Amino acid sequence: MTRLVTRRRNALWSIVAAAGLLLDLSACGGDTKLAVPDQQQSTPTPRPQFQTSVPGTASPVNTTPTIGEVTWTTAIAPATQGPVDGVTNYVVDAPSIIAVMPAANLPPDAEVEARWSYNSTSLDDFATSLAGDLGPGDRWINVRLDRAPEVPWPAGVYQVTVSLDGALVQEASIEVIDPE
């Protein structure tokens, strides 16, 4: 008999405790709804991601020396040394053939060399070499062929190959056309 009274007393206390909990939730403004747990796997709430670093160390920065793709242009912007426009061909009376490339992270002792060819024939006399301190940071490098005012360009394909410290990094061609 004592056992039965104890069970009933424990059951009564469980009901009173549950009712008290429901009253506490109601007093806080919480809804007292009974919900069946979702049987599907729920997606956890995303937590903010934090990245830490050791004080005094910088984030990794790309320091690989690079020379980007050639842009053919009719002129160079004085302030940036970058192209003022882009062209897909030149006409025989164009004053210059200008190849411009973005460069980044060039070391102080970098050597940039440009070699020209016309219809697959090397123009050795027009090779250009830039050596020494080309300046820090990102910059533009330009190489060009200029013609005498009275002599038009021969129509055909002109090509420039660019090397950085002896390794080929860019190669581009452009056609000079005779509009007549």
CATH number at residue 110: 2.60.40.10
Residue burial 110-125, b: 16+ Cβ < 10 Å; e: rest: bebbbbbbbeeeeeee
d(CA 132, CA 114): 15
Among 25-29, 49-53, 122-126, the range with the most confident prediction by mean pLDDT is 122-126
Confidence of residue 22 (pLDDT cuts 50, 70, 90): very low
Among 19-23, 105-109, 135-139, the range with the most confident prediction by mean pLDDT is 105-109
d(CA 85, CA 94): 14
Number of domains in the chain: 1
Query: Looking at the domain assignment, is residue 43 inside a domain?
Result: no
Structural domain including 79 reads 66-177
Q: How distant, in Å, are the alpha carbons of 29, 41, 78, 105, 114 from that of 166? A: 75, 58, 29, 17, 10
Please answer whether residues 164 and 171 qualify as being in contact, where contact means their C-beta atoms are separated by less than 8 angstroms: no
**Both tokens of residue 148?**
């005498």
Question: Which position has the higher pLDDT, 154 or 58?
Answer: 154
Query: Looking at the domain assignment, is residue 101 inside a domain?
Result: yes
Q: Check whether 44 has a pLDDT greater than 60.
A: no
Query: Looking at the domain assignment, is residue 143 inside a domain?
Result: yes
Alpha helices of the chain — where are they, by DSSP H? 2-27
Q: How distant, in Å, are the alpha carbons of 23, 106, 133, 140, 144 from that of 74? A: 81, 26, 27, 15, 10
Rg of the chain on CA atoms, in Å: 37
Query: Looking at the domain assignment, is residue 3 inside a domain?
Result: no
- Least confident among 13-22, 59-68, 131-140, 168-177: 13-22
Query: Looking at the domain assignment, is residue 171 inside a domain?
Result: yes
Query: Looking at the domain assignment, is residue 28 inside a domain?
Result: no
Confidence of residue 13 (pLDDT cuts 50, 70, 90): very low
- Full-prediction pTM beyond 0.75? no
Confidence of residue 132 (pLDDT cuts 50, 70, 90): low
Query: Looking at the domain assignment, is residue 79 inside a domain?
Result: yes
